[in-house]
Amino acid sequence: MATWQPKSDEAVGKNEPLGRRLFDEPMLAGANEATSYDGLDLRNFEETRGREFSLDRLGRSGVDNRVVSYLLPRAHAAAAKFAVAKTFNGWAVLRTHKLINPPKGARLPVVASPIAGDGLAENLYHAHAILPEGGDAASYSSALHLRSYLQNTAGCIRCATTPHARSRDRAGYWQSSNASRERP
Amino acid sequence: MTGGSASSTIFIDQFGSGARHYSWPSNTAIIERYRRFTRSTKPQILSETPPPESRVYRSDRILPRWAEQTAQTIRSSIAYESRKDGRWLRPEAAIAANDFFREVADLLPGAPHLYPSSQGDVVAEFKAPYGTLTSIVSSSFVLLFAVVGDTEIERKILPTGDVRRELGSVMKPLLSGQYGDLAAEK
């Protein structure tokens, strides 16, 4: 069966699983030792480049392994591009309708936005949610709400706390977490 | 210049020229100048004078053990110059965060997990018996975000706001698990 590839003009389906990339974030400079925290780091949900909250479309109706295989090297490449290189830890996943009709807060329209480019610069499965306008407090509020949706109602692919992700072998970790894919 | 005892003569140790005795009243001008110099700047409260009510009832909160360590961590994470590795705090946010913790540490459920936001503000994550609390402290506001079960509680506190009252209302469901009123409020 051919890999699902959305057409450029194809709207994002309400039931499509969308993934937010999770990266290993640095600890505070003055912290002597890492305190235990098993939640998701808020920085993964802050969008510093504007109001477009970047997402990956992970399949038509469920997480598609072939799409994930396509996205994985791109995510690792993106992690290496930060001012200080980070480690890619996986995706926090939720269904599109959770953003379009959230239980609370503003509705976030989701738009397909494939990225053209050569090699790993291309991402046919890119999409973004449009965040509400506002200042710093509004952008923090959006990040907190999005993290809450993703943490509480969605599943994760290779979703783990940073210290665990650091200590595990990357390939082995990927396989072991396949079983914990999205909960409906 | 430091002083010694004084009765009819006064002993003044003059820095650089050794100790000298000044007698009353021939050295009145010098002695008066010395008295003015050494006079306490704080007003004297006599035993008959009742202290002001604000002083009598001022709350001296007992801060939890973790508060000092948290303050130290924040202080040593201040970026005094531009840093882009995502490990540092904006000075004004760090100062605001230390003020915030000094004000409300006794209401919080325990030591926070601290990290900087992408903009250098202070993010503190707390675990409470019935949920989680995230506080974001910037120079112009404090944002509180609690999750209790499926309910989210959000409060934005401006510098003029009553931070203890607002935090207290957020902490109540986190400590008791009862959030019906707050859920309806949202």
| Digit-coded pLDDT (tens) for B127-143 | 999 999 999 999 999 99
| Residue that wins the pLDDT comparison between B81 and B59 | B81
Q: A-chain residues within 8 Å CB-CB of B76?
A: 29-30
> What total of structural domains would you count in chain A?
1
Interchain CB distance below 8 Å, A136 and B87: no
pTM over 0.90: no
Q: B-chain residues within 8 Å CB-CB of A152?
A: 147, 150
**ipTM confidence score:** 0.81
Question: Looking at the domain assignment, is residue A33 inside a domain?
Answer: no
What is the predicted pLDDT for the residue at A39?
86
Q: Is 50 exceeded by the pLDDT of residue B17?
A: yes
User: Hey, is the C-beta of A103 within 8 angstroms of any chain B C-beta?
Assistant: yes
User: Hey, is the C-beta of B138 within 8 angstroms of any chain A C-beta?
Assistant: yes
What is the predicted pLDDT for the residue at B182?
55
Q: Supply the DSSP symbol for A115.
A: B
What is the predicted pLDDT for the residue at B15?
64
What is the predicted pLDDT for the residue at B167?
95
Question: Looking at the domain assignment, is residue A131 inside a domain?
Answer: yes
Q: A-chain residues within 8 Å CB-CB of B110?
A: none
Residues 9-48 of B with CB under 8 A from A: none
Question: Looking at the domain assignment, is residue A165 inside a domain?
Answer: yes
Mean pLDDT comparison of A129-138, A140-149, B121-130, highest-scoring range? B121-130
Spatial CB neighbours of B150, under 8 Å, sequence gap ≥ 6: A103, A152
Distance CA A91, CA A74 (A): 13
Give A17-62 pLDDT, tens digit per residue: 999 999 999 989 988 766 678 889 999 999 988 899 999 999 999 8
* CB atoms closer than 10 angstroms to residue B177: 13
Q: A-chain residues within 8 Å CB-CB of B141?
A: 136-137
Question: Looking at the domain assignment, is residue A66 inside a domain?
Answer: yes
Chain A residue at shortest CA distance from B186: A104
For residue A101, the enclosing domain spans 17-21+44-174
CA nearest to A21, candidates A125, A139, A134: A125
Give CA separation, B3 vs A16, B24, B33, B40, B102, in Å.
83, 15, 12, 14, 39
Distance CA A28, CA A6 (A): 40
Average pLDDT of the residues of chain A = 81
Domains of chain B: which residue ranges? 1-39, 66-185
| Residue that wins the pLDDT comparison between B52 and B108 | B108
Q: How many CA atoms lie within 13 A of A121 on its CB side?
A: 3
Decide: residue B76, CB within 10 A, 0-12 exposed, 13-18 middle, 19+ buried.
Answer: middle
The b-or-e profile of A95-123 (16+ CB within 10 A means b, else e) is bbebbeebeebbebebebebeeeeeeeeb
User: Hey, is the C-beta of A85 within 8 angstroms of any chain B C-beta?
Assistant: no
Q: How many CA atoms lie within 13 A of B136 on its CB side?
A: 27
Question: Looking at the domain assignment, is residue A31 inside a domain?
Answer: no
Question: Looking at the domain assignment, is residue A3 inside a domain?
Answer: no
User: Hey, is the C-beta of B118 within 8 angstroms of any chain A C-beta?
Assistant: yes
